[in-house]
Structures are given as C-alpha cells and as structure tokens.
C-alpha cells in the first residue's frame, strides 16, 4: 500500500512539473518587440508644393531620443484673404529645428532662422491613417499688417523617410 501511494505521488509530481514547462520552445525564443518612439511617425522628409514646385521642405531625424532637423522654405509668400497661398518666392530661407515636443495637438516645432537668428514655432499634425500626410501651421507669429492668417500647409512624406522607425532605448 505504501508503495502504491509513493508511486502515485511520484506520478502526480511529474505531471505538475511537466505541465509548467513552456508549451513550445519558440514561445520563449521570441523577445518582446522594442517600443517605438512616438517621434517615429514624424521622422523623415516632408514637402509642400505650390503650382507644382516644392516651396517648403522639412527634414526631421533622430539623434539619440530627440527629433532634430531643418526647415527650408520660400523666403516670401503671399496669402489670399481666405488664408490660401497666393504666391511663393523662388528665394529660399533656412532654419534649424531647435526643439520638437509632442503634445495632444501634434508635434510642436521651434525653429531658429539661420540668417536672422529669430525663433518661430509651428504645429505639425498627422492627417492620414498611413502617417504620410500632415499639416504644418504657423503659431504665435507676428504677421505683417493687413496679411491674413495662413491656413495650415499640406505636407507629404517622401517614401524614403516613410520607413524610418526608431526604437526607444531604455
């Protein structure tokens, strides 16, 4: 009787140990996916066109865990009374992205003009499910007297920048 009880205990313990082993070796072999930075959707080359030519180019890239870049745009532009672009100059002006901060409304960009050293602020909002289209809106900028407030500019992400995903390091 003691022998039968000992045999049942050994079988029961064996079943417990066997049932706690991983179901398949592949389940333990797959490491968790790395977290993707919330900036990943914004990184890349973005352009805006007017009358078939590119008048604004926004380049955003990762450096460490920060988003940095440059903004190249027409030096002068004129706006219709409804806020749409009327014309853009061929002469270009450049600025460096000095700050990129996510907020509930989108990506708040601060730029510093290379020539004047003045800072400007823009709000960038993704507007497509594929994250390949965005709007860029000037914010907190003084406008010349009589100039209507521009509508947000439509940006398109180039295919080369659309694949850039950067993991967050911890």
Stretch (H or E) spanning 16: helix 2-19
* pLDDT tens by residue, 96-111: 999 999 999 999 999 9
Q: What local confidence, expressed as pLDDT, does residue 26 receive?
A: 53
* pLDDT tens by residue, 54-65: 999 999 998 888
* pLDDT tens by residue, 124-145: 999 988 889 999 999 976 666 7
Identify the band that residue 168 occupies on the pLDDT scale cut at 50, 70 and 90: very low
Q: What local confidence, expressed as pLDDT, does residue 164 receive?
A: 40
User: What does pTM read for this prediction?
Assistant: 0.71
Q: What are phi and psi of 163, to 5 degrees?
A: -95, 0
Residue 105 DSSP label: T
Average pLDDT of span 113-130? 90
d(CA 110, CA 121): 5
User: Structural domain boundaries of the chain?
Assistant: 44-160
Average pLDDT of span 146-151? 81
């Amino acid at each position: 009787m003691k022998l039968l009880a000992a045999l049942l205990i050994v079988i029961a313990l064996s079943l417990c140990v066997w049932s706690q082993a991983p179901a398949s070796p592949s389940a333990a072999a797959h490491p968790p996916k790395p977290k993707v930075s919330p900036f990943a959707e914004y990184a890349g080359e973005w352009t805006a066109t007017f009358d078939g030519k590119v008048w604004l180019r926004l380049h955003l890239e990762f450096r460490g865990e920060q988003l940095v870049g440059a903004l190249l745009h027409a030096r002068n532009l004129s706006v219709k009374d409804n806020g749409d672009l009327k014309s853009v100059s061929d002469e270009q002006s450049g600025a460096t992205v000095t700050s990129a901060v996510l907020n509930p409304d989108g990506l708040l960009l601060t730029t510093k003009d290379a020539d004047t050293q003045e800072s400007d602020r823009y709000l960038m909002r993704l507007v497509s499910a594929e994250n390949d289209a965005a709007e860029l809106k000037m914010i907190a900028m003084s406008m010349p007297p009589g100039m209507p407030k521009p509508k947000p500019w439509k940006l398109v992400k180039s295919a080369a920048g659309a694949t850039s995903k950067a993991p967050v390091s911890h």
